[in-house]
Amino acid sequence: MSFHQGSDDAAAAGTHANGLTGSRANKLFNRGKGVTKGFRLQFILFVSFVLISALPVVLLSIWDQHAALRDEYNSVNEKHLIIAENLSGVFDRYVIDVKEGFRFAVLGADNGEPNQASHQFLKSLSFCDVSIIDGANSVIRSLMESHDNKPPYPSPEVITQLRDAVGRANGDIVFSNIIQDRGKPLFFVVMALENSRIAIGSLTTDYIRKIQRQIGFGERGHSMVVDANGVVIAHPNAAWENTSKDASKLSVVGAMMRGETGVSEFYSPPMQANMIAGHTSVPGVGWGVMVPQPVEELENRANDGQKTAILITLIGIILAAIFSWWLSRFLAKPIVTIDGAAVAVASGELRTQVATLAPGSPRELQSLSAAFNVMVNQLREREERLQSAKDEAVAADRAKTDFLANMSHELRTPLNAIIGFSEMIKVETFGPIGTPQYSEYVKDINNSGNHLLRVINDVLDMAKIEAGHLEPLYSQVDMTEIAETCISFFAERADKDHIELKVSIGEDLPKMSADDRMVQQIILNLLSNAIKFTPEKGVVELSIDADLQRGCVIQVRDNGIGMDPAKLDVVMQPFGQIDAKLGRKYEGTGLGLPLVKSMVDMHGGTLDIDTALARGTAVTVTLPLGRVIDDG
């Protein structure tokens, strides 16, 4: 058993994620902008059409079966080899997707961030299991559900071999050759983790076989895929597939194992025929891909073509002279259009689109044009998602920094007051204990302590809410009594700040079924915000009304600084503040409104905010009808 870790994993992953990069992008770019030599495609096509139509007439006397067969062999060099190279590219991108999808899923799970989308992505890549294994080769976590009663992870012997391979990989992801494990051919993807742990992904051959079965032509033309040891991965012969047949003795397989690309003839035991095949290898993993066809089919086509070659050539040479110029231009124009778009994308213009081709353009070119546009859109969307993710990460980091700065301010100011005033009382700065001035200091100490307690309670309540550990404790509450208690908390502060505090409480308020502490905290937080952002000589009004039709409506209105309505989403996020400078000017953690919203939601109510810059704010909380207790 051998493994392939691939020294260019990072570069390959970048190519897959961002389109053309490195030398390939440079070649395209140079081709489009730096290359001035050579003939135009239209001229080449025109000359080619004329020569192709005239040459058979010149060589008509020596036309024989060997010439026709040679043409068939040339078609193998062109068609079969191109198909083999395209398949190699498909499998190369698939290996890159497997490695990056595996890495993303394992690191996300190992960091405690399970992701259902990554689970579905792994399934789409033909993973049947991804497990994290400790140093004792025991499975400590499986990232995918097993579909049978047998453990989907490798057998102990295979685990040991995989661990040895990843130990030699110098931190790279290891992609194994095909392995028969528990009677089933599988690939294994392995990555080393911390503390002697490894992650192992079991990968079926379903995707490779699906692609292989889509290639078929002639009567028995097909494709075949082997691993770096020449073991069959995908083949039309089911027995060769299911038993992972060792085909390394075939000459063409040996050429693929040596990394050679070209066309070879060989005898195929399962097809029992001489075959000719275009073959190449998949970079990184060393798989061999070939597209063989029986030589007999080429000979049959050559015999059929010989009979009609002369007649077709005579007719073709006449028609070609008439239509060659028009046809060359017709074919060259869409190719040039697509080529120009490809050069633009290679140079970084991800908003480039291939213009709509002229009606009647070849279907393959139309399909290529559409596929190219889809590819560019996907590249652009991926680029935008990466930029969006970066912006979100920067915003989260900035919010964390602002929160820590605000918390530092919130905790330091009252602590300084508590320590300073208590120290003055302790050393009796203004005389013996009992001096009237100390009463004011005690009051300041009490206020500062209560402020600290509110800050800590807000942080703890938000933590409990986000963890789902805070639930309302319903009881019968008196809204009038709660309102009066809340007003008493802020009466002195409002008077000190020269703010008029108005109260409007409806008569005969019905009893409410609610959590009295939460309702009180809702009103306290709203009043605190209103007073905090209302300047001197401003007005803050609390109104409470209720009936059996509307429910209970609590509104706090002020004529303070207000805010931009477009920024409401920011202030409704925990620790969110529109401007970090405001957080330092006006004390607060940024938890007031988020706490109010969470507690209102727990009661099944609604919260509405009407605000504008320099025009004040009105916050309305409506508790649902079911919370009002009809005393009648």
Examine the pLDDT at 149 and tell me if it is beyond 60.
no
pLDDT of res. 583: 45
Greater confidence, 6 or 263?
A: 263
Summarize the confidence of residues 575-585 as an average pLDDT.
Answer: 50
More confident residue, 424 or 300: 300
- The answer to whether the beta carbons of residues 224 and 281 sit under 8 Å apart is no
Tokens representing 212 are 């292989």
pLDDT at 231: 93
pLDDT at 619 over 90: yes
pLDDT tens readout for residues 415-448:
666 777 666 666 666 667 666 776 676 766 776 6
Q: At a CB cut-off of 8 Å and minimum separation 6, what does 160 contact?
A: 137
| Per-residue model confidence (pLDDT) at position 10 | 35
Predicted confidence at residue 20, as pLDDT, reads 41
pLDDT at 184: 85
- Burial class from Cβ neighbours inside 10 Å (0-12, 13-18, 19+) for residue 541 reads middle
Order of all β-strands in the sheet with 273-281: 232-234, 224-226, 288-294, 273-281, 262-268
- pLDDT above 50 for 44: yes
Query: What pLDDT, in 10s, does the model give residues 72-81?
Result: 777 777 788 8
Q: Is the Cβ–Cβ distance between 621 and 605 less than 8 Å? A: yes
Would 206-298 and 471-629 be classified into the same CATH topology?
Answer: no
Distance of CA 247 to the CA centre of its chain: 40
CA pair distance 477, 171, nearest whole angstrom? 63
The fold for domain 471-629 equals Heat Shock Protein 90 (3.30.565)
Dihedral sign for Cα 161, 127, 175, 289, please: positive
Q: How many CB atoms lie within 10 A of CB 402?
A: 19
pLDDT digits (tens, 9 = 90+) for 113-122: 766 677 788 8
- Asked which of 63-67, 460-464, 510-514, 575-579 is least confident by mean pLDDT, the reply is 575-579
Can you tell me the distance from the alpha carbon of 104 to that of 143, in angstroms, rounded to the nearest whole number?
Answer: 12
**Model pLDDT for residues 467-508, shown as the tens digit of each residue:** 676 788 888 888 888 888 888 888 888 888 889 999 998 887
Strand order in the sheet with 616-623: 500-505, 539-547, 551-558, 616-623, 606-612
- CA–CA dist 71, 77 (Å, integer): 10
* pLDDT, tens only, 370-400: 888 888 888 888 888 888 888 877 776 666 6
Q: In the CATH hierarchy, which top-level class contains the domain 206-298?
A: alpha beta
Decide if 549 contacts 367 (C-beta within 8 A): no
pLDDT for residue 630? 58
3-state SS track over 321-351: HHHHHHHHHHHHHHHHHHHHHHHHHHCCCCC
Mean pLDDT value across residues 33-42: 60
Where are the domains positioned within the chain?
3-202+307-324, 206-298, 471-629
pLDDT digits (tens, 9 = 90+) for 83-104: 889 999 999 999 999 998 888 8
Highest mean pLDDT among 214-223, 359-368, 405-414: 214-223
Residues 6+ apart with CB under 8 A from 100: 13, 16, 17
Average pLDDT over residues 589-612: 85
Token representation of residue 450: 């209560």
Among 9-18, 280-289, 355-364, 532-541, the least confident range = 9-18
Please check the confidence at residue 18 and state whether its pLDDT lies above 60: no
From the DSSP assignment, how many helices (H) and strands (E) are in the chain? 18, 20
Residue 15 — very low, low, confident or very high, per pLDDT cuts 50/70/90? very low
Tens-digit pLDDT profile for residues 181-200 = 877 889 999 999 888 889 99
Per-residue three-class SS string for 109-156: HHCCCCCHHHHHHHHHCCEEEEEEECCCCCEEEECCCCCCCCCCCCCH
Helix (H, G, I), strand (E, B) or coil at 190: strand
Residue 114 one-letter amino acid:
P
Q: Which of 161-165, 286-290, 344-348, 352-356 has the highest mean pLDDT?
A: 286-290
618: pLDDT strictly greater than 90: yes
66-71: list long-range contacts, CB under 8 Å, 24+ apart. 68/301, 68/302, 68/303, 68/305, 68/306, 68/309, 69/298, 69/299, 69/302, 71/302, 71/305
User: Scanning the structure block, which residue is given the tokens 């570069």?
Assistant: 11
Kindly report, residue by residue over 206-262, the tens digit of the pLDDT: 999 999 898 887 788 889 999 999 999 998 888 888 888 898 998 999 999 998 998
d(CA 29, CA 37): 15
DSSP notation for 237-276 = SHHHHHTT-B-TTSHHHHHHHTT--EEEEEEETTTTEEEE
Q: In angstroms, how far is the first alpha carbon of the chain from the final one? A: 84
pLDDT value of residue 543:
92
Report how far apart, in Å, the C-alpha atoms of 504 and of each of 170, 272, 457, 543 are: 73, 97, 28, 4
C-alpha 555/C-alpha 577 separation (Å) is 22
What six digits make up the tokens of 274? 């001489």
Could you write out the DSSP letters of every residue in 478-522? -HHHHHHHHHHHHHHHHHHTT-EEEEEE-TTPPEEEE-HHHHHHH
Between residues 567 and 420, the one the model is more confident about: 567
Dist CA 456 CA 461 (whole Å): 9
Say if strands 539-547 and 500-505 run parallel, antiparallel, or are unpaired. parallel
CA separation for the pair 176, 186 (Å, rounded): 9
Cβ neighbors of 78 (< 8 A, separation 6 or more) are: none
The pLDDT of 593-608, averaged and rounded, is: 88
Residue 313 above 80 pLDDT?
A: no
Distances (CA, A) of 284 to 227, 248, 257: 11, 19, 12
- Quick check: 349 pLDDT over 60? yes
User: What is the C-alpha to C-alpha distance for residues 355 and 139, in angstroms, rounded to an integer?
Assistant: 54
Structure tokens at 559: 């004529």
pLDDT at 311: 67
The kind and range of the H/E element at 203 are strand 198-203
Mean pLDDT rounded to a whole number for the chain? 77
